[in-house]
C-alpha cells in the first residue's frame, strides 16, 4: 500500500466558510486548516479519499495538479470515496466547462452515501455546501450510492456511517497485506482530536463524533492503524504503534 498526500494548500476559513489561501499560517486570523485529499495505491486500485476544493489554476482543477506532481493521471483513479458533501471535500469531483459539468475522474466509481446526499440537497442556503456541485453530482454516470450503515466496497475497503460532523458522515478503512489505514475525515480532521475527548459544537452531533473517536483511538492502538488527517497542518498521516 502506498499513501500519497495531495495537499492543495493551507487556508484561513471565516464564519461564512470562505477559504482564503495563506502563506504564513501564524500571521492570519481565523481558523487555519490544510486541505489535503489522500491517494491510496494498492495492488488493485488507485483510491482517492475526498476531492478537495473546487479550485482551478490556469483552467485546470487543482486536484489534477496535485496528481501530476506524483506522476498520476486522473484517468488512473479507479475509486473515489466521499466522506460527506461539504464543499471542501467534494469540490474537486468535477468542474464546469462551457456551461456543462464534467466529472474529474471519468474511470472511477464514485461512492457517496445516499442519505448524506439527500440531506445535502436540502441545504441550499448553507455556506458549508457548494449547492451547484451537490446538484450536479447526481448527474455523474459513475456515481455509486451506498445505503447501508456499514459494509464492504471491496475486499480491501470497509465503510461505516457514524454521523457526527454531518448527519450521515461516513468513514473508511483500507487494508492490504495486514496493513490498515483509517480515514475519519471531519470526525477526526486533525491529530489533536485524539488528545482530548471533546464534543465540538461545530459538528451536527458533537457527542456522537466524540464517542466514535474514543472507540477509534482504542482500536487504532490495538490494531496499529495508520490514521489520515484531512485538515492537519503538520501531520497528515500518523502511524499508531
How does pLDDT run across 8-67, given as a tens digit for each residue? 999 999 989 999 888 766 677 778 999 999 999 999 999 999 999 998 888 889 999 999
187 exposed, middle or buried (CB, 10 Å; 0-12, 13-18, 19+)? buried
Q: How far is CA 149 from CA 113, 129, 163, 168, in A?
A: 9, 23, 10, 9
Confidence check: pLDDT of 239 > 90? no
What gap in Å lies between CA 163 and CA 149, rounded to an integer? 10
Which residues neighbour 126 within 8 Å (Cβ) at sequence distance 6 or greater?
A: none
| Region 117-125 average pLDDT | 96
Average pLDDT of the chain is: 94
Confidence check: pLDDT of 223 > 90? yes
Confidence check: pLDDT of 220 > 70? yes
Angle formed at CA 91 by CA 90 and CA 94, multiple of 5 degrees: 100
Which of 57-61's residues contact partners 24+ apart within 8 Å by CB, and which partners? 61/92, 61/95, 61/104
Q: How far is CA 32 from CA 61, 152, 195, in A?
A: 22, 34, 19
What gap in Å lies between CA 115 and CA 118, rounded to an integer? 5
| Region 69-85 average pLDDT | 97
Q: Nine-digit cell at 23?
A: 502563506
How does pLDDT run across 161-197, given as a tens digit for each residue? 999 999 999 999 999 999 999 999 999 999 999 999 9
- Scanning 110-231, the segments in alpha helix (DSSP H) are 114-120, 131-137, 206-223
Estimate the share of the chain in helix, then strand, then coil, as percent rounded to the nearest 5.
Answer: 25, 30, 45
User: Which of 36-45, 105-114, 149-158, 232-241 has the lowest average pLDDT?
Assistant: 232-241
Percent of the chain's residues with pLDDT above 90:
87
- Picking from 64, 179, 181, the residue whose alpha carbon sits closest to that of residue 171 is 181
Domains of the chain, earliest start first: 2-239 (3.60.15.10)
Kind of pairing, strands 143-146 and 150-152?
unpaired
What gap in Å lies between CA 182 and CA 158, rounded to an integer? 10
Work out the end-to-end distance of the chain between its first and last CA atoms, rounded to an integer number of angstroms.
Answer: 17
Predicted local confidence at residue 91, as pLDDT: 97
What pTM, to 2 d.p., does this model score? 0.95
Confidence of residue 2 (pLDDT cuts 50, 70, 90): very high
What gap in Å lies between CA 43 and CA 154, rounded to an integer? 13
Amino acid at each position: 500500500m502506498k499513501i500519497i498526500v495531495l495537499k492543495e494548500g493551507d487556508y484561513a476559513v471565516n464564519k461564512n466558510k470562505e477559504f482564503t489561501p495563506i502563506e504564513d499560517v501564524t500571521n492570519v486570523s481565523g481558523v487555519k486548516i490544510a486541505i489535503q485529499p489522500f491517494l491510496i495505491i494498492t495492488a488493485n486500485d488507485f483510491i482517492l479519499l475526498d476531492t478537495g476544493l473546487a479550485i482551478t489554476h490556469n483552467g485546470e482543477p487543482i486536484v489534477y495538479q496535485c496528481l501530476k506532481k506524483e506522476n498520476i493521471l486522473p484517468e488512473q483513479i479507479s475509486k473515489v470515496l466521499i466522506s460527506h458533501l461539504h464543499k471542501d471535500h467534494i469540490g474537486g469531483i468535477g468542474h464546469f466547462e462551457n456551461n456543462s459539468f464534467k466529472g474529474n475522474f471519468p474511470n472511477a466509481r464514485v461512492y457517496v452515501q445516499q442519505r448524506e446526499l439527500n440531506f445535502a440537497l436540502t441545504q441550499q442556503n448553507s455556506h458549508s455546501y457548494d449547492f451547484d456541485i451537490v446538484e450536479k453530482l447526481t448527474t455523474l454516470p459513475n456515481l455509486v450510492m451506498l445505503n447501508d450503515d456499514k459494509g464492504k466496497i471491496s475486499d480491501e475497503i470497509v465503510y461505516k456511517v457514524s454521523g457526527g460532523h454531518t448527519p450521515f458522515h461516513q468513514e473508511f478503512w483500507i487494508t492490504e497485506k495486514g496493513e490498515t489505514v483509517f480515514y475519519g475525515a471531519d470526525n477526526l480532521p486533525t491529530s489533536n482530536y485524539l488528545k482530548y475527548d471533546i464534543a465540538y459544537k461545530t459538528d451536527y452531533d458533537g457527542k456522537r463524533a466524540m464517542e466514535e473517536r474514543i472507540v477509534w483511538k482504542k482500536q487504532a492502538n490495538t490494531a496499529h492503524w495508520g490514521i489520515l488527517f484531512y485538515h492537519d497542518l503538520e501531520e497528515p498521516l500518523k502511524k499508531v504503534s
